[in-house]
Each structure stands twice: as structure tokens, then as C-alpha cells.
Amino acid sequence: MSRRGELEIVVVGAGVAGSAMALALVRAGFDVALVESRPPSRWHAADEVDPRVVALAPDSAALLDELGVWRAVLAARASAYRRMRVWDALAPGELSFDAADRGEAALGWIVENRLLQHVLWGALNAPPEGAGSARLLCPAEVVAVDNEADGVAVELADGTRLRARLLIAADGAASPIRQQLGIGTRDRDYGQRAIVAHVGTERAHEATAWQRFQPGGPLAFLPLVDGRCSIVWSRPDADAARMLALDESAFLAELGCAFDFRLGAITSTTPRYAFPLKLRLAERHAIGRCALLGDAAHAVHPLAGQGLNLGLRDVRCLAALLARAQQRGGDPGAANLLRRYERERRSENTLAARGLDLIERSFGSEAMPIVAVRGLALSLADRLGPLKHLLGDAAAGRL
């Protein structure tokens, strides 16, 4: 039997960005439905560290703190990185950042994706007194969206029908909602896969995030709280397949060489996984009474770890606009509100995505004139205080 629910806002997708958006709305007093096809996996301290980790910038941590979940994340398992070192395999020059130079405790934190989802989901199940409400529909799948002038009608696979004043799609880079809304994308297939694993090293990681640019793709070593490093190694598709097929000793030897043995020998690894890398930018961030959020609006190369941070900046922007509308008794799906969200976020997301794309193209080239220029650029950026400070602010989300 069909059921009908009247809501203010429906959020589709309970990944980190979608769950954070739903929680921000509930705390602002909205009645929200969060629709997700699969329940998030529970996180346990005794479990192996999730292969998928994210580098949270300070502004992302601040948002999670405002949502009341950051202390729980820190208490569970999060690794602060205080320094960052970036260098090129083919050219001299190195760029380094240190939190102490900025008078800060950390440049960012390495956190498991599954832990973030677990904590956010728990907070949605226990909203603070006086907040709005969260209706969690999971497992559930949206099969139809009717984007009307005065509201959005959403039909789920089990026959449930919802009606809301605003629909927020946070359902990932493939976003079925974006496709149903007819929003096109501009894509670039990098022809790469990112190999991820957690590895042990001969020397301590020094609470440092390391990145080496190589022909074929960058290699990052990210510090984990247990002393290991999480690697993200972007390689051409064929080479990624070859590396996944290597036995452990051969893989460790090749990885150590690629990393220039900055932390000595690589001593151990968890099972390796790989995922394809694509640039995808939605041509619209909003249409009618529907808005796109996170990967549904933009998917970027992971070389600077900015994907989730961009998504959480979407959350902060849209949540602030909706909270102000709520206080004034306004319509959360009003065209002028969504146009402002699109104007503010689409420009930054496009700039970030294109900038990361340019870096990937530049540092992936083996042409000697380009190699010489980028080596000089790294050296100058490290020596010029104002430029270095600007780069640090951009990474931290302070611009």
C-alpha cells in the first residue's frame, strides 16, 4: 500500500555529506527524511582501519564540531597531521607546510570514512532536544522524482510516496537523482585507478602527510593513528592492474622505491583495493526545487584530498542559507535561495576541480620544459611566504 508523508526536506544519500546535511537541517529545526539504499556499516574500535580514509581540513572539522559529532570522532580514531611534504620525482624542489608555522595544532586529520558515517548516523538517531526530526528510510531507493512548482514528489521502490518543499541529492558521483532531473555533466576519465591500502614503514610517519608526484600519477602516504600510513597511489589502469596482481613482497619493494624510501623500507600491507578516477562536474547545482550536493555535483582527482572537504563546504553553505530562510519563515525550496547556493558553490567547485585537473596534467607530464617549470614552481612556492600562506589557506578552506 502506498503511504504519503509530508515533509519539509528530503535528502537522498546517507554518505558523509548527505548525513551531515541532514543533521545540520535537523539541528536547524527542519523535519527531514533521509533516504539511503544501504545502511552504513557499523564501526567498531576493534575492527581493522577502514581502507577508505579521508583528509579532513580544519573547516570540515569545525563544521562537524558545530554538528556535535567531532569530539566523538576524535575519541574514536582520528590522526592529526601536523606537517605536509610535497616533491616531484623528476625535478628538484620541495614544498613543505608545518602547523607550528601557522600557530595551529594540526593541518588536518586522517579519518576513516566508515567512522564518520557511523557517528553521523548515530547523531541523526538521537537529535538534540528542541531540534527538528529525522525520518530515516533505509534500505530505500528513489524510483521517481516529480519536480513541481510548489513542491517535490518522491516515489520509493516499495511504493512509499513523499512530498517535500526541497529535495537534496547527495547520492554520489553516479547520482541517479541527477540523471532523473536531466542535469548533464562534463567528464574526464583520467585512465587511472587509485590503489589504496594501509602499510607499515621502517620509520615513524612523523605525523606528516607525504605526497610524491610521479609520471603516471601521484603517490600519497597519510599518517594513521596506529603508526601505519594509508596510501593512495594513482596509476594508469594497466599498471594498476599489474600492481594489484603482484605478490606482497614485490609490491612492497616497488612501493618503497616509488616513495623514495622516505620512511625507510615498507614492511607490511593490508589487502589492496583500487577505484577508477574521473573528473565529473554537474552543469547545474540546482534545478527547480532540487539541489545537488557533494559528489553528485562534483567529483575530483584525489591528489589533494579535497573531495569530501568540497562536499562539506556545500553542506555549510546550503545549511546556512536554509537556516536563515527558516528563521524568516521562508520557503526552503525558493528559487532565489537555490540560485544563490548554486552561484556560491558552483564557482568554487569548478575552480577547485579545474585546478586539480591542471595540477594532475602538469605533474603527470615528462616533457622536460614542463618538468623544469614545475620544479622551479615548487621551490618558489616554498620560499615565498605570502604564496605559501595562501596555498595553506586554500587547503584549509579559509579562502
The ranges assigned to domains in the chain are 4-67+113-186+279-360, 81-112+191-277
Tell how strand 286-287 and strand 290-292 pair up: antiparallel
pLDDT in tens, 57-93: 999 999 999 999 999 999 999 999 999 998 887 777 7
Q: Is 245 helix (H, G, I), strand (E, B) or coil?
A: helix
Residue of 350, 296, 309 whose CA lies nearest to 173:
296
Q: Which pLDDT value is given to residue 1?
A: 27
Q: Which pLDDT value is given to residue 135?
A: 93
Tell how strand 108-112 and strand 152-156 pair up: unpaired
Q: Which pLDDT value is given to residue 315?
A: 98
Q: Which pLDDT value is given to residue 141?
A: 95
Listing DSSP states for 330-367 in one string gives --TT-HHHHHHHHHHHHHHHHHHHHHHHHHHHHHT---
Q: Which pLDDT value is given to residue 2?
A: 30
Q: Which pLDDT value is given to residue 17?
A: 97
Q: Which pLDDT value is given to residue 23?
A: 97
What CATH number belongs to 81-112+191-277? Answer: 3.30.9.10
Cβ–Cβ contacts within 10 Å for residue 364, how many? 19
**CA-CA distances (angstroms) from residue 322 to 9, 195, 327, 338, 350?**
10, 38, 9, 9, 23
- What's this model's pTM, rounded to 2 decimal places? 0.91
Residue of 218, 205, 229 whose CA lies nearest to 82:
205
Q: Which pLDDT value is given to residue 188?
A: 92
DSSP 168: E
Q: Which pLDDT value is given to residue 24?
A: 97
Structural element, H or E, at residue 272:
none
What CATH number belongs to 4-67+113-186+279-360? Answer: 3.50.50.60
Q: Distance (Å, rounded) from C-alpha 64 to C-alpha 45?
A: 20
Q: Distance (Å, rounded) from C-alpha 32 to C-alpha 313?
A: 20
Taking the chain (399 residues) in runs of 10, the rounded mean pLDDT of each run is 63 97 96 92 90 93 97 96 88 83 90 96 87 92 94 95 96 96 95 96 96 91 97 96 97 97 97 95 97 96 85 97 94 96 94 81 62 61 54 52
Please name the amino acid found at residue 191.
G
* CB-CB contact of 363 with 375 (8 Å): no
